[in-house]
Amino acid sequence: MQVNKSVYTRPCESFLPSIPYSVTLCVCLSSPSHGSDTITRMSDDRGAGLEAVVILLLILTIVSTSLRCYSMGVILRRFYIEDWLAMVCLV
Examine residue 7 and state whether it is found in any structural domain, yes or no: no
pLDDT in tens, 3-49: 555 554 444 445 445 554 444 444 444 555 555 555 555 556 899 99
Examine residue 18 and state whether it is found in any structural domain, yes or no: no
Confidence of residue 1 (pLDDT cuts 50, 70, 90): low
Total of domains in the chain:
1
Examine residue 88 and state whether it is found in any structural domain, yes or no: yes
Confidence of residue 88 (pLDDT cuts 50, 70, 90): very high
User: pTM for the complete prediction?
Assistant: 0.50
The answer to whether the CB of 65 falls within 8 A of the CB of 58 is no
pLDDT in tens, 53-81: 999 999 999 999 999 999 999 999 999 99
Q: What is the DSSP string of 13-72?
A: SSS-TTSBHHHHT-TTTSPPTT-THHHHHHHHHTHHHHHHHHHHHHHHHHHHHHHHHHII
Examine residue 30 and state whether it is found in any structural domain, yes or no: no
Q: Is the dihedral of CA 60, 63, 69, 74 positive or negative?
A: negative
Examine residue 42 and state whether it is found in any structural domain, yes or no: no
Q: Which domain holds residue 63?
A: 47-91
Examine residue 79 and state whether it is found in any structural domain, yes or no: yes
